[in-house]
Amino acid sequence: MNNTTENTFTDQALVNKVLRGHTNAFKAIVKHTEGLVTQIIFKMVANNEDRRDLAQDVYLKVYQKLSGFKFKSKLSTWVGQITYNTCLNYLEKKKLVLIDEHDSGANKQFETSKNNTHLFSNETEKLVFTKELSQILKKEIDNLSPLYKTLITLYHNEDLSYSEIAQITELPEGTVKNYLFRARKVLRERLQLTYKTQAS
C-alpha cells in the first residue's frame, strides 16, 4: 500500500468515526493537523489573541463541514485550506494586506549593488554565519508579507509539494512557484543588508 492510499484510508476511518459521534476521533484529527494549522495562523496573523480564536474557529468549521469532505485531497490539506481561508477572511476584515508592495517586485536598491554584496565570501565563513543566521532570519521572515511567510513555511518547514500548497491557497501552481521565488529573493537581499549593516 503506498503512502497516499494509506493516508486516505486513515483519513476515511477517522472521518467516519467522527460522523458516528466519536469526539476522540476528532481529537485525533486536531492532533494530527494542529502543526500545519498553527504554522499557517502564526504566519498569516500577528496578534496572539486573534490567533487563539482563529485556531478554535478553524476546527469548529472543520467539524461542521466534515460530512461534506470528499477525500479528493488529504484531510490535512483540506484542513489547511480551511485555515488559510479563515485567515484570509480575518485579514480582509482587519483591512490588512496579503502581499506588501515592498515584497512584490525586485528591489532596485539591491539590483544596483548586487555584485559586491554577499553574505559570505568563501565556504569557510559559512559556519560562522549560520549561528547568527537564525536570529536575523527569524526577524526578516517576520517582516515578510503574510502570504510570502506562509508559502516559505509550507514549502520549507512543512515539506508540502507545490501542488499541495496550491490546493491550500487555491492559487495556480505557477503562481505559488513565482511567489516562492520572490519571497526567497527578498529574504536573501534583506539578509545581505542586515548582515552587512551589522558587520560594518
Partner 1 sequence: MINEHVTDMEIQLFIFEEEKCAIHVVEHIKHCPQCAIKAAEYNVLVEGIEQLEKPAFDFALADLVVEQLPQPQLRARFDSLFLYIIAFVVISFVATALYFFKDTRLNLAWKTSPASTGLIITTVACIGIFLLADLFRKYQRQMHAANFIE
Q: Note the residues at the interface with partner 1 (CB under 8 A).
A: 19-21, 23, 26-27, 30-31, 34-35, 38-39, 42, 51-52, 55-57, 59-61, 63-64, 67, 115, 118-121, 123, 126, 129-130, 133-134, 137-138, 141, 152, 156-157, 181, 184-185, 187-188, 191-192
Compute the least distance from the CB of residue 97 to partner 1, in Å. 21
Q: Kindly state the DSSP code that residue 119 receives in the 8-state scheme.
A: S
Place of cell 488559510: 84
How far is 182 from 187, CA to CA, in rounded Å? 8
Enter the C-alpha cell of residue 160. Answer: 508540502
Q: Which is nearer to partner 1, 1 or 105 (CB)?
A: 105
How far is 23 from 122, CA to CA, in rounded Å? 56
Compute the least distance from the CB of residue 173 to partner 1, in Å. 13
Compute the least distance from the CB of residue 65 to partner 1, in Å. 10
Q: Which is nearer to partner 1, 8 or 192 (CB)?
A: 192
Task: Judge residue 91's burial from the number of C-beta atoms within 10 Å of its C-beta, 0-12 exposed, 13-18 middle, 19 or more buried.
Answer: middle
Q: Which is nearer to partner 1, 11 or 189 (CB)?
A: 189
Q: Which is nearer to partner 1, 27 or 94 (CB)?
A: 27
Greatest alpha-carbon pair distance for the chain in Å reads 64
Enter the C-alpha cell of residue 91. Answer: 485579514
Compute the least distance from the CB of residue 156 to partner 1, in Å. 5
Nearest 5°: the CA angle 190, 194, 198 is 170
